[in-house]
Amino acid sequence: MNGSLRKLLETAYSSETADLIEEGLCSKSVTFRANLLKTSREEICAAFSGYGIRLSTPDWCEYAFIAENASEDVIRKTDEYKTGKIYLQSLSSMIPPLLLEPESRDSILDMCAAPGGKTTQIAAICPGAAITACEKNKIRAERLRFNLERQGAGRVNLMVCDSRRLDGMFKFDKILLDAPCSGSGTLTDGGEDFSEELYLRIISTQTELIKKAMSLLRPGGRLVYSTCSVLPNENCEQVKKAIGMGAKVVPIDPDRFKGVPTLPTEIPGVICIRPTERYEGFFAASLERG
């Protein structure tokens, strides 16, 4: 593992926990979710049984699946993948949209939306919600547009812009900020390209995004902040900044995500997922603006 990353992990946790994290940065099981805009859990189970592909489901989400005996290439060749009835997505990244708890009258902003896994999941959970998805990179925005259309989420309002530059006239009931991060929970190469310079720059960007999210959120609104990092400076320290701006943590029920491997956190009621063969390292916090 990259020496700088290893040092940060040992400082944040312990050498033993850093060993567990490093061990978990390995090849992952193939996971996906049924796209409820186009299909049902039952239809997907029947189709994949016909293919001879064994599926299992985590306790906390009935439309999430683990392919027990098939590669990602095999899944991509199925009609269900080609027609947008399923979406290849890590189990960990399915958790933030669930924490958002979208309702049909909600105005929702996805601040860093590409490639669209979480955006389309929100649309599938609650088709009646008014969703705005921002992506500043034009190439990534085109990928997002493609996924929105294939997943049947064409009603989502796509804005090719940096969400930090959104006009203050916009106000939202709920905001998902899946922030750019070091990727310390997903670096299967051991973080060979990890650099402290980039890490510090990313933390600065996260802080700017948190500030913007709080300014765009209506009083009483919900902000879900997430990263695919396990480093506290990108996670709990950023949540503290939101708390300093008037947010309060909406505690995550510890029984809600049974079976999900976790790491200790300084702030109660948030979740930091330890990377394993089935889960990516991930962080999520649910916040409410006062």
**DSSP, residue by residue, 108-155:** EEESS-TT-HHHHHHHHH-TTSEEEEE---HHHHHHHHHHHHHTT-TT
Phi, psi of 44 (to 5 degrees): -70, -45
Instruction: Please tell me the total number of residues recorded for the chain in this structure.
Output: 290
Model pTM score: 0.97
Superfamily of domain covering 3-26+91-289 = Vaccinia Virus protein VP39 (3.40.50.150)
Task: State the Cα–Cα distance between residues 263 and 273, nearest whole angstrom.
Answer: 6
Q: How confident is the model at residue 157 (pLDDT cuts 50, 70, 90)?
A: very high
Task: State the Cα–Cα distance between residues 104 and 130, nearest whole angstrom.
Answer: 8
As a CATH number, domain 30-88 is 3.30.70.1170
Q: Are residues 174 and 122 in contact, defined by beta-carbon separation less than 8 angstroms? A: no
Can you give the residue ranges of every domain in the chain? 3-26+91-289, 30-88
What value, to the nearest 5°, has the Cα angle with vertex 204 and ends 159 and 113?
A: 25
Name the percent of the chain lying above pLDDT 70.
100
Q: Are residues 285 and 224 in contact, defined by beta-carbon separation less than 8 angstroms? A: yes
Q: Are residues 252 and 269 in contact, defined by beta-carbon separation less than 8 angstroms? A: yes
Q: What is the pLDDT of residues 24-70, one digit of tens each?
A: 998 899 999 999 999 999 999 999 999 999 999 999 999 999 999 99
User: 30-88: same fold as 3-26+91-289?
Assistant: no
Q: What is the pLDDT of residues 60-103, one digit of tens each?
A: 999 999 999 999 999 999 999 999 999 999 999 999 999 999 99
For residue 5, give the 3-state DSSP assignment. Answer: helix
1-12 burial by CB neighbour count: b if 16+ within 10 A, else e?
Answer: bbeebbebbeeb
- pLDDT for the residue 189: 77
Q: Which of 112, 126, 228, 272 is catalytic?
A: 228
Task: State the Cα–Cα distance between residues 11 and 15, nearest whole angstrom.
Answer: 8
249-279 burial by CB neighbour count: b if 16+ within 10 A, else e?
Answer: bbebeeeebeebbebebebebbbbbbbbebb
Task: State the Cα–Cα distance between residues 243 and 86, nearest whole angstrom.
Answer: 37
Question: Residue 61 catalytic?
Answer: no
Q: What is the pLDDT of residues 194-206, one digit of tens each?
A: 888 999 999 999 9
Task: State the Cα–Cα distance between residues 270 and 268, nearest whole angstrom.
Answer: 6
